[in-house]
Amino acid sequence: MSTTILEERKDQIHRTGEGAIDIACNRESLAGAVSQRACVFCGSRVVLYPIADALHLVHGPIGCAVYTWDIRGALSSGPELHRLSFSTDLQEIDVIFGGEKKLSAALDELIDRHQPKAAFVYSTCIVGLIGDDLEAVCRKMSEEKGIPVLPVMSEGFKGNKRAGYLAACKAMFRLIGTRDTSGITPISINIFGDFNLAGEIWIIREYFRRMGVEVVANVTGDGRVNDIGRCHGAALNLVQCSGSTLDLAKMMEEKYGIPYLRVSYLGIEDMADSLYQVADFFKDQDTGIVERTQELVREELASLMPELAQYRKDLDGRKVAMYVGGSFKAFSLVKAFRHLGMKVVMVGSQTGTKEDYAELEQITDPGTIIVDDANPLELSAFIKEKDVDLFVGGVKERPIAYKLGVGFCDHNHERKEALEGFEGMLNFAREVHSSVMSPVWNFVPRRANRVLEAEKEAVNE
């Protein structure tokens, strides 16, 4: 193992093929290691943000409001209240005397002005320290305004981003069951854990429409308060980003008896498999749903595969490192890169479980580095060690790639390009090809040496 790896972190790093995997995970980030993770508040905020007709108010200092406007490329087909930035902007005097009056005044003004269907109030670190009673304030405002005003207990010091997901699920669960379910068909689903980045959920909904499946609620991409309030009337929940919404699916299964399936809409196999799983679930109620699904997949692949073959000619044999938030992305990406002839040599996530990493070991090649909760020092060391051609990550990983002279593909929630579904796979291949094949990388010293060696070999031949 590289000498740049901190001693306390070694049990969170594994190399495929070097013994049985027993990677440590779900632990607090190492102090001073500058983890790529975000805080509890960030986790809850990014999950709830795409509920477009709700008011989102951050109760805390103005610095926390960095996670308010446009933190996801989440599009709305209607209202855009979620894109406005609201914060109580707590000052020193509020820390001393409490911020409850300021919060009440902010909610009073904002609800009257914007007439939201519901309001989410996010508790930040300072609020947890000074002891403001969000529950009491929200309950009082809900009674006065006649809408759900929901506290999101997301003090950042309580853990990491994963704890924020749970806080968001608890807040949403208080909405579920508050609306009428009449008119929902027996062949119906809820889409959990998709955030409509670049309009992706519209692509997925269209697939289900062609299959004859009703989508009751998007939770939370292009979300609506009323849809979430009646989503307990659906027959099945589909959970894509398991880290963010699996807890909500389990809560609904326990209270309402609604089963759930873990799915992924990224890549060819996982997209097709997700559609087939839904068809299989409903085949006893609709005998034609399997045939319609098969025809849908055939049509999409007939146009997609020839174009992927063209990109593969240039990308075959190239090496990839990736670091993602939810591990579900990693599974799909490993398979997607195989369609492009590329080899994944490093993969990591912020919130993976032991089961996730064990599955990753099964689908990756020997020598692949698997890492939980990485930091820039480690990521830089692995990228140089493996001499990768492409690094896949988010906004915090982009500078690492460019400083090392490596192509980068944004696969996080800030992106503006739809990468889900069969259409998204083509977009993904096009973006990867553009990044990897850019001539600019030939001027990076270690890349330039590789080019010179290739030219010498060609001359000798």
pLDDT at 242: 73
pLDDT at 454: 64
Asked whether 214 and 185 are in contact (CB, 8 A), the reply is: yes
Tell whether the model's pLDDT for residue 445 goes beyond 80.
Answer: no
pLDDT at 369: 96
Band the pLDDT of 1: cuts 50, 70, 90.
Answer: very low
Higher pLDDT, 447 or 210: 210
Tell whether the model's pLDDT for residue 3 goes beyond 50.
Answer: no
What phi and psi, each to the nearest 5 degrees, are found at residue 112?
A: -65, -40
Tell whether the model's pLDDT for residue 449 goes beyond 70.
Answer: no
Q: What mean pLDDT is predicted for residues 179-207?
A: 96
- Vertex 312 angle, CA 310 and 313, to 5°: 75
Say how many CA atoms lie within 13 Å of 1 toward its Cβ: 17
pLDDT at 34: 56
Band the pLDDT of 32: cuts 50, 70, 90.
Answer: low
How far apart CA 200 and CA 384 sit, in angstroms, is: 33
pLDDT at 460: 75
Starting at the edge strand that comes first in sequence, how are the strands of the sheet with 236-239 ordered?
Answer: 214-219, 188-192, 236-239, 260-262
Asked whether 138 and 122 are in contact (CB, 8 A), the reply is: no
Tell whether the model's pLDDT for residue 6 goes beyond 70.
Answer: no
Tell whether the model's pLDDT for residue 39 goes beyond 90.
Answer: no
User: Looking at 15-29, 36-50, 378-392, which range is the least confident one?
Assistant: 15-29
Give residue for tokens 């593969």.
312
Band the pLDDT of 455: cuts 50, 70, 90.
Answer: low
Q: Which of 169, 8, 337 is nearest to 347 (CA)?
A: 337
Could you give the domains of the chain?
Answer: 10-16+302-449 (3.40.50.1980), 40-173 (3.40.50.1980), 188-299 (3.40.50.1980)
pLDDT at 442: 82
| Residue range 301-358, pLDDT digits in tens | 999 999 999 999 999 999 999 998 877 789 999 999 999 999 999 999 887 888 888 9
User: Looking at 5-19, 21-35, 71-85, 131-145, which range is the least confident one?
Assistant: 21-35
Size of the chain, expressed as the number of residues it contains: 461
Q: Peptide bond before 220: cis, by omega within 30 degrees of 0?
A: yes
Q: What mean pLDDT is predicted for residues 206-217?
A: 98
Q: Which residues pair with 348 in a beta bridge?
A: 323, 371
How far apart CA 87 and CA 26 sit, in angstroms, is: 31
Q: Which of 176, 173, 205, 172 is nearest to 191 (CA)?
A: 205
Higher pLDDT, 7 or 179: 179
Q: Is 33 helix (H, G, I), strand (E, B) or coil?
A: coil
The pTM for the full model equals 0.91
Q: What is the mean pLDDT of the chain?
A: 91
pLDDT > 90: percent of the chain? 71
Q: Which residues pair with 122 in a beta bridge?
A: 58, 152
| Residue range 249-262, pLDDT digits in tens | 999 999 999 999 99
Q: Which of 267, 328, 330 is nearest to 301 (CA)?
A: 267
- Vertex 16 angle, CA 10 and 18, to 5°: 70
Tell whether the model's pLDDT for residue 166 goes beyond 80.
Answer: yes
Highest mean pLDDT among 157-161, 211-215, 240-244: 211-215
